[in-house]
Structure 1
Amino acid sequence: MDWLQIVILSLVQGISEFLPVSSSAHLILVPVLTEWEDQGLAFDVALHLGSLLAVVLYFHRDLAAMTGSWLRSLQNRQPDEDARVAWAVLFGTIPVGLAGLAFKDTIETVLRSPLYLAAGLIVFGIVLAWADLRHRGDRTEAQINWKDVLVIGCAQALALFPGTSRSGITITAALFMGMNREAASRFSFLLSIPVIVLASGLQIRSLLETPEPIQWGAMAAGIALSGISAYLCIHYFLAFIKRIGMMPFVAYRIILGVILIGVFA
């Protein structure tokens, strides 16, 4: 890998991981459009670790409060708002974990073509617009209930389909359940933490089982660039989402999907 490839892939991952535009679609498209060789499993691990560090650092105060409240709820059986959000994150991760174990091979081999990406971008972009325009409410993540957790958790499992966008589909589901944009986005970002941990763990296990050489300099650069860009993306997305809404991302998804169909159909 040369430095141009390292920088572009790191920025693409960092920016698109938490926007509702599908990071997996963009990472698949970069080598297709540039004719670069696949970046390899080790670099994929670095990119995801960078994103993980970014979201943990950004929400470190929330995570500390949630962890303390969650531990107390195990003892007194009386969860407060922070504990309820913590439990929601944990239980909301179960569906995607089960779906990933069941369909991992199919997803990685059958569904990675540009046309599948285009379909996911367009269809779930339209669903996001529908949720934002017709179903958005004013509830916060602190008001989450078990019905919300079930719907959002099952929706997250759909993100295994390339082009769907994990953040996009969870924000969509949260909007459908009556959350406001900020709450839907914040819960989506918190929900990403165990998912990225699980995905990175599986990648690291696969990496340890292969003789693939590791470029430690590229790994370090990928973690740093992906982490910095992801942190800034989270900050500005949450700062402006109430004002800009979801429609710019919907428009981007549909335009990109149409371009992919035009190029690869």
Structure 2
Amino acid sequence: MDWLQVVVLSVVQGLTEFLPISSSAHLILVPVLTDWDDQGLTFDVAVHLGSLLAVVLYFRHDLRRMGASWAMSLQRRSLRQGVEDPDARLAWWVLLATIPVCVAGFVLHDAISVSMRSPLLIAFTLIGFGLLLGYADWNKRAGRSEYQLTLRDALLIGAAQALALIPGTSRSGITMTAALLLGMSREGAARFSFLLSIPVTALASGLEIHGALQVPREIDWQAMAVGVVLSGLSAYICIHYFIAFIKRIGMQPFVVYRIVLGLWLLWIFW
């Protein structure tokens, strides 16, 4: 990999990981639309770790409160008693909402990694789920925050997150879509989606590291380090400005982007 490829892929991953436009689609499409070789699993691990560090750093105060309250909730006699504290409840909902995508990823990993990387499939998922996001944003109701979610809401959003295993869907996009349809505010939907990314990205990165260690290869540690830093910086900036942006303007610019990109891919690859 040359340094231009390292910089472009790192920034693309960092920005698109938390925007509702599908980071997996962009990482697949960059090598397809350029003369660059596939960046490889090891580099993908590095840039995902950068995004993970960014979201953990951004929500560090929330995570500290949630972790302490969740630990206290384990001492209660029942789950019902344990989720009386809002921070503990939110921590439980994040953990429980992660289960569906873990199950789906374990069952469908091979099929998704082999047969679902087609640019045409990405085009259709970009457009279809983009239109669904647009509908959810246009018809949003008086919004609840992430602290007002119920167990049912968390499980439904978690089930929707499993669809993000299909390239082009966008993990952040589909979880925010589900949250908006359930009556959450834009900010609440975004914050819960970002918190959900932490266990999912950590687990996915762990699996990717395990897979990378199975095949001996020469590792460019400088490229890995630059990938982590650039991905983390761009992801942190993206999270900060995205929440402020959608509070004022909404999701429609991202819907338009998804549709335009999807139509362009259909025009090229059909």
TM-score range, shorter chain: over 0.9
Matches within 5 A, 1:53-132: 53-76=53-76, 77-79=81-83, 80-132=85-137
Q: Is the 8 A contact 1:137 1:175 kept in 2?
A: no
Shift of 1:112: 0.3
- 2:226 maps to 221
CA contact (8 A) 1:136 1:181 kept: no
Aligned partner of 1:4 in structure 2 is: 4
How many percent of aligned residue pairs carry the same amino acid?
64
* Superposition CA RMSD, Å: 0.7
Structure 1 letter corresponding to 2:216: P
* Residue in 2 that maps onto 1:247: 252
The CA distance in 2 between the partners of 1:212 and 1:101, in whole Å, is 25
Indicate the residue corresponding to 2:178 in structure 1: 173
Structure 1 position 114, deviation (Å): 0.4
Q: Distance in 2 between matches of 1:194 and 1:74?
A: 19
**Corresponding residue SS for 1:75:** coil
The alpha-carbon deviation at position 135 of structure 1 amounts to: 3.4
> Are the equivalent residues in 1 in contact too, given 2:82–2:89 (CA < 8 A)?
no
Superposition pairs for residues 128-207 of structure 1, below 5 Å?
128-207=133-212
Question: Which range is displaced more, 103-112 or 134-143?
Answer: 134-143
Structure-2 residue corresponding to 1:15: 15
Contact 2:54 2:232 in 1 (8 A): yes
Task: Report if aligned partners of 1:138, 1:178 keep a CA contact under 8 Å in 2.
Answer: yes
Structure-2 residue corresponding to 1:29: 29
Distance in 1, matches of 2:48 and 2:146, equals: 25
Range with bigger deviation, 183-192 or 144-153: 144-153
2:264 to 236, 255, 259: 259
* Residue identity opposite 2:224 in structure 1: M
One-letter amino acid of the counterpart of residue 217, structure 2 = E
Q: Distance in 2 between matches of 1:134 and 1:146?
A: 23
Hey, what's the Cα distance between the residues in 1 that align with 2:149 and 2:12? 31
Structure 2 residue identity aligned to 1:219 = M
Residue by residue over 1:105-158, the C-alpha shift from the partner in whole angstroms, topping out at 9 and shown as x without a partner, is 111111101000001100000000111111343111101101101110000000
Q: Aligned AA for 1:52?
A: L
Structure 2 gap segments, 5+ residues each = none
Query: Offset of 1:211 from its aligned partner?
Result: 1.3
CA drift at 1:240: 1.6
Normalising by structure 1, we get a TM-score of 0.99
Stretch deviating more after TM superposition (69-78 or 12-21)? 69-78
Q: How many residues align?
A: 265
Cα deviation, residue 213, structure 1: 1.4
TM-score (norm 2): 0.97
User: Aligned to 1:220, what secondary structure does the other structure show?
Assistant: helix
Give 1:78's aligned amino acid: G
Which secondary structure state, in structure 2, belongs to the residue aligned with residue 156 of structure 1?
A: helix
Cα distance in structure 2, aligned partners of 1:151 and 1:202 = 25
Distance (whole Å) between structure 1 residues aligned to residue 28 and residue 98 of structure 2: 24
Moved more, 137-146 or 180-189: 137-146
Q: What amino acid does structure 1 have at the position aligned with 2:82? A: Q
Cα distance in 1 for residues equivalent to 2:48 and 2:142: 32
Structure 1: 4+ residue segments shifted above 2 A: 76-79
- 1:93, 1:194 within 8 Å by CA — same for their partners in 2? yes
What does the per-residue CA deviation read over 1:149-173, in whole Å, with 9 as the maximum and x for residues that have no partner? 1110000000001100000000000
- Report SS of the residue matched to 1:82: helix
Inter-partner Cα distance in structure 2 for 1:211 and 1:117: 31
